[in-house]
Amino acid sequence: MPSLHALANPARFLKLARPLTPILFWAGLVLLAIGLWGALFRIPPDYLQGETVRIMHIHVPTATLGMGGWSGIALCSIVYLVWRHPLAMVAARAIALPGAVFCGLCLVTGSIWGRPTWGTWWQWDGRLTSMLLLFFVYLGFMALTHADAERGGDGRIPAIYGVAGSVLLPIIRYSVVWWNTLHQGQSISLTQSTIDNSILWPLPFSLLGFSLLFGAVVLMRMRALLATAKAEARMRRMAA
């Protein structure tokens, strides 16, 4: 198994990423199809929420990956700042767009779920507001990395931003504990769940399926960013 230092070499990384990308994509698509089939056609309606409970199988994975994406950006930013791995900021830039998309989907599906459940599309409570802030932080990171690349920066400023933005993650995680909010408390943990298994069983399929698709998109974007950087370097050599 190649070490992380070895994978920092773009050629070695691409050798692994090329075959891994379609594997993650198709495996994720199959698992997601199973999860959504179960959510739409197999689980019973909830005794309180009725049919609207089915959106949980999209909302929970998108919320998890919206937060997980920024965790990845923060980790890549730390690796870049400490060890200056050449692929660290490439990975952070690649994560930003799918992370923002999943964060946005979390907000949209939460609003759709909240309308019949809470009687409102939006409420400025702790969980919803902090998740909206994370979405804006994603947009800020993408704008900052683009500006830094345009001016020929070394990536340190976006990396510092990536680490600083992680302060939102514990706020989102514990918002329903710290404040009396409209959003319900934690229903699922690593050891237990308050949701009946007859409703819950498709969730691992959809969560893993979305996660694998997220990974495939990140690898695709990393390969595209490396190809763009290689083409730009070739053009500069030709122009010299």
Q: What is the pLDDT of residue 96?
A: 98
Distance CA 23, CA 43 (A): 29
SS3 127: helix
Query: How many residues would you count in the chain?
Result: 240
Q: What is the pLDDT of residue 1?
A: 45
Q: What is the pLDDT of residue 71?
A: 97
DSSP string, 176-227: HHHS--SS----B-SS-BSS-HHHHTTHHHHHHHHHHHHHHHHHHHHHHHHH
Q: What is the pLDDT of residue 210?
A: 98
pLDDT digits (tens, 9 = 90+) for 59-106: 999 999 999 999 999 999 999 999 988 899 999 999 999 999 999 999
Average pLDDT (48-54) is 87
Share of the chain above pLDDT 70, in %: 90
Question: Is pLDDT of 143 > 90?
Answer: yes
pTM, two decimals, is: 0.91
Q: What is the pLDDT of residue 117?
A: 83
Between residues 205 and 152, which one has the greater pLDDT?
205
Query: What class, spelled out in words, does domain 19-42+50-182+202-239 have in CATH?
Result: mainly alpha
Closest among 100, 135, 58, 76 to 217, alpha carbons compared: 100
Question: Is pLDDT of 178 > 70?
Answer: yes
Question: Is pLDDT of 197 > 60?
Answer: yes
Write down the domain spans for the chain. Answer: 19-42+50-182+202-239
Residue 12 has, within 13 A of its CA and on its CB side, a CA count of 11
Q: What is the pLDDT of residue 48?
A: 79
Both tokens of 172, joined, read 């989102």
Share of the chain above pLDDT 90, in %: 63
